[in-house]
A and B are shown apart, each in its own frame.
Chain A
Amino acid sequence: MELNLADIAFWLLSAISIAGAATAVFTRDVMRLTLGLGVFLLSVAGWFLYFGHAFVAIAQVFVYVGGVLVLILFAIMFLHRSEQGLPELTSRHALDSAVVAVGVAVLVITSLREYVTGQLPTVGGADAEIGVSLLGAYLPHFEAAGVLLLAALVAAVVIVGGEKR
């Protein structure tokens, strides 16, 4: 079997993303959880590049790795500042949950399998076209996403700092 560059990229990205996700799910250390999540989110950006969406990949790095991951780090630092060292993460219901997770995966794979026949050779949309469609056909969605972000920010401030002194 001859490997081309696309295959190598595919298997490399698969290995990195699954390793990151497995670390985040199975580790008992809070910092390793954050690190695994970071590896996973960066590999998702790599997957977007693999599928030809360079703009979405950059947005993934900015929004997730630059935003959400830092947010989670702040939350961990805020919550566990007083105790001696970081606490151990624990899990439970391992077997039942594994059955549910594998069941869902098998269900989706078997239902999608027969409809997917092959991969399109085309590359993803040009960045300028994405901008045009966000301000054209998807303008209502774009505005709604903006309002949602504003509402989420205001809600976060109100929930965390809302107490009167």
Chain B
Amino acid sequence: MNFIVVTMVLFSLALYGVLTRRDIVGVLASIEMMLGSATLLFVGLSRTTTVATTITPDPTHTGAIALILMVTAAAGAAVGLALLVALARKTARTRTDEITEVKG
């Protein structure tokens, strides 16, 4: 139970960062933290007993799925940072409220 609170504190801190940051680097870092705390909640919940189901979680499957989640997040970060660099090269803007056009 305690770890759910800790994980959600981490998640809400990261969500706050995504919503408030004006610089895209900060937003991307916060998105990584959101993904990390979601994975953490998933892994933590596999170690708990529940009243809702009688399914016993298999830690092997948790490990495999956590690895795949991690790879997905890393791929997202790579593309996001590449887009950021391309945008900064083209328009010299790196803040969310300076980007007002869709046309490239």
Q: What residues of chain A have their CB less than 8 Å away from a CB belonging to chain B? A: 10, 14, 17-18, 21-22, 24-25, 30, 33-34, 37, 40-41, 44, 47-48, 51-53, 55-56, 59-60, 63-64, 67-68, 71-72, 74-76, 78-79, 87, 89-94, 96-98, 100-102, 104-105, 108-109, 112-120, 122-126, 129-130, 133-134, 137-138, 141-142, 145, 148-149, 151-153, 155-157, 159-160
Contact = CB atoms under 8 A, between A and B. Distances in A.
Nearest to B48: A116
A14 B40 CA distance: 12
B10 A18 contact: yes
Given A64-B32, A75-B85, A159-B86, 15 more contacts: A14-B6, A41-B32, A51-B46, A79-B88, A94-B20, A97-B15, A97-B16, A113-B4, A133-B63, A133-B64, A138-B65, A145-B68, A149-B75, A156-B78, A157-B82
Given A25-B13, A59-B70, A71 B59 contact: no
Nearest to A113: B1
A34 B23 CA distance: 13
Nearest to A96: B19
Q: Which secondary structure dominates chain A's binding surface? A: helix
A53 B82 contact: no
Contact of B84 (A64, A75, A129, A145): A75
Given A138-B64, A159-B86, A25 B22 contact: no
Contacts of B71: 63, 145, 148-149
Given A10-B2, A68-B77, A89-B23, A37 B33 contact: yes
Interface of B: 1-6, 8-17, 19-23, 25-26, 28-30, 32-33, 36-37, 39-40, 43-52, 57-68, 70-79, 81-86, 88-89, 94, 97
